[in-house]
Structure 1
Amino acid sequence: MNDKQVNIMGIPFTNKTKYELVNILEKDLMVRKKRFVVTANPEITLYAVENPEYKKVILQSDFIIADGIGVVIASKWVKTPLKERVPGFELMMQLIQTAEKKGLSCYFLGAEKKVNIKFTEVIKEMHPDLVIAGSHDGFFDIENNEVMNSILESKADLIFVGLGMPRQEEWIASHIDKFDQGLFMGVGGSFDVVAGAVKRAPEFWIKLNLEWMYRLIRQPKRWKRILKVFEFMLRMFISSLSLKKR
């Protein structure tokens, strides 16, 4: 780990603002550097701690960003504060805008077929000049190379993978070596949000860092996932107390 990273439970988070990160990734894209971006919230962080094989997968990435206010709060508790939360959804949308501006192509992998189709339609409406190299829904065997081959043939510059955690990171890690270039990023349910299948929290909730609470109200079935967030925060709080005693 270096001074540009913050260690949370053994996970090296990239300590950059969204603006700084977009600039770095844009420069890498223009020189065709291959990049793997992981968007990690408290749930993903805890899952990595409890599942060593998954932790190995995300440690192969180039950037692990703090997509969760809980991670940012925890970083302050352990006296190594992250600059800000970088929501994966916002980073994806910013990179799509960059792709349109720079004439780069995107491939969208994930979600249900109808959601994937709707997503590409909406994105094209939002960014008329965006080059969409291809798209595919998320319902396929991860061991099947047909999807990987279609992405290879498309020569896409940015590959957004919305297969959900841990599948999306595992898919990227197992196939990225086949590619000479490309920015690969796991985006969870972001396609569903753009397609209108899932509503993102209003700006008011986002600014108050209460997006997680809005999701819980809208989707009560998420309560088990929210419990993981509280478990993460409790572990980090206890860890911060032990640091104070030293």
Structure 2
Amino acid sequence: MTGHYDKVTIMDIDFIHTTMERFLNDTIYPTLANEDKCFIVTANPEIVIETRDYSEFKKIVQDSDYVLADGVGVINAARFMGRPLPERVSGIDVMYEMLEHAAEKGYSVFFLGAAEDSNRKAVENAQEKFPGLVVAGRHDGYFDPADEEISRMVLDTNPDIVLVALGMQRQEKWIHDNIAKFDKGVFMGVGGSFDVLSGKAQRAPQGWIQCQLEWLYRLIQEPKRIKRVLRVAEFMLLHIPIIGQIMKVFGFSKKKPRN
């Protein structure tokens, strides 16, 4: 691994203290240049709550090489704790930066996950947006994570970057279970980023993001996300000092982990 960072621990998850620029220059680019490998988790409040509730998932996140603060909720929680993080480092932005760098330097990328139409269109749009991008291969997300044929297929392409869009928990578990088979590669779970890259979903405008209302924009687009929004609200309540102490007294922050 490259790059050494201070850590800010939130609910037993160690977030690295970094900016986007530093993480790219100190970790991503040297990892690619040296043909090393690393496992990156981009963790928002929902993922942190999931690690509290699922012990196996918590261990996977803790075993990753780098956990990035993807979400203003994480940034605000760190600030409430008195150990502020410098900025949000979103997974989709890291993905775009890696794709641009890969196109410039000739690194290859494997796109794994999402629906077939989203996967295919995401690859097409990536090649159009980043001319010269080398696509090692692609495959949709409709497969059994334990299917070794999929991991062999990815391995055979010898990719420099593996973007995994299988949804929370499933994508991190796939990386965790398979990264040891590879000699090199930057591995990162990217959630719904292929849907955005394909044009199937729209990212919130910059103004909404700056006002910390990206969650509301996404909720308006997808009302079924209400349960996820409630998870974020639970996370934030736990980290507002007075409310957090009340919730801890009544045991709301200590749910029994599930395997």
Question: TM-score band (shorter)?
Answer: over 0.9
The RMSD of aligned alpha carbons is 1.4
Q: CA deviation at 1:219?
A: 1.1
1 CA distance for matches of 2:141 and 2:45? 24
1 CA distance for matches of 2:5 and 2:126? 36
Contact 1:172 1:184 in 2 (8 A): yes
Contact 2:46 2:235 in 1 (8 A): yes
Q: CA deviation at 1:115?
A: 1.0
Contact 1:78 1:239 in 2 (8 A): no
Contact 1:37 1:62 in 2 (8 A): yes
Q: Which residue of 1 aligns with 2:14?
A: 12
Q: Which residue of 2 aligns with 1:114?
A: 117
- Is 2:131 the counterpart of 1:128? yes
Q: Counterpart of 2:129 in structure 1: which amino acid?
A: M
Q: Which residue of 2 aligns with 1:35?
A: 38
1 CA distance for matches of 2:239 and 2:5? 20
2 CA distance for matches of 1:37 and 1:169? 9
2 CA distance for matches of 1:239 and 1:188? 33
Q: Counterpart of 1:144 in structure 2: which amino acid?
A: D
Deviations 1:59-87, CA, capped at 9 Å, x for gaps: 11111001100000000111110110011
Q: 1:137 to 1:74 in 2, by over 3 A?
A: same
2 CA distance for matches of 1:3 and 1:78? 18
- Is 2:76 the counterpart of 1:73? yes
1:170 counterpart (173, 176, 197): 173
Q: TM-score, normalised by structure 1?
A: 0.95
Q: Which residue of 1 aligns with 2:152?
A: 149
Q: CA deviation at 1:238?
A: 3.8
Q: Counterpart of 1:9 in structure 2: which amino acid?
A: M
Contact 1:112 1:138 in 2 (8 A): yes
Q: Which residue of 2 aligns with 1:98?
A: 101
Q: TM-score, normalised by structure 2?
A: 0.90
Q: Counterpart of 1:10 in structure 2: which amino acid?
A: D
Q: CA deviation at 1:202?
A: 1.1
Q: 1:224 to 1:240 in 2, by over 3 A?
A: closer
In structure 2, list runs of 5 or more residues that go unmatched: 246-259
Deviations 1:191-242, CA, capped at 9 Å, x for gaps: 0001011111112112222111100111111111000011001111248976
Contact 2:80 2:241 in 1 (8 A): no
Identity %: 45
Q: CA deviation at 1:137?
A: 0.3
Runs of 4+ aligned residues of structure 1 deviating over 3 Å after TM superposition are: 238-242
Q: Classify the secondary structure of the residue corresponding to 1:35.
A: strand
Contact 1:116 1:135 in 2 (8 A): yes
Contact 1:78 1:240 in 2 (8 A): no
Q: Counterpart of 2:18 in structure 1: which amino acid?
A: K
In structure 1, list runs of 5 or more residues that go unmatched: none
Q: Counterpart of 2:61 in structure 1: which amino acid?
A: I
Q: Counterpart of 1:236 in structure 2: which amino acid?
A: H
- Is 2:48 the counterpart of 1:45? yes
Deviations 1:77-135, CA, capped at 9 Å, x for gaps: 11110110011111100011111111110000011011111111111111121110000
Q: Classify the secondary structure of the residue corresponding to 1:129.
A: coil
User: What is the number of residues matched between the two proteins?
Assistant: 241
Q: 1:3 to 1:16 in 2, by over 3 A?
A: closer
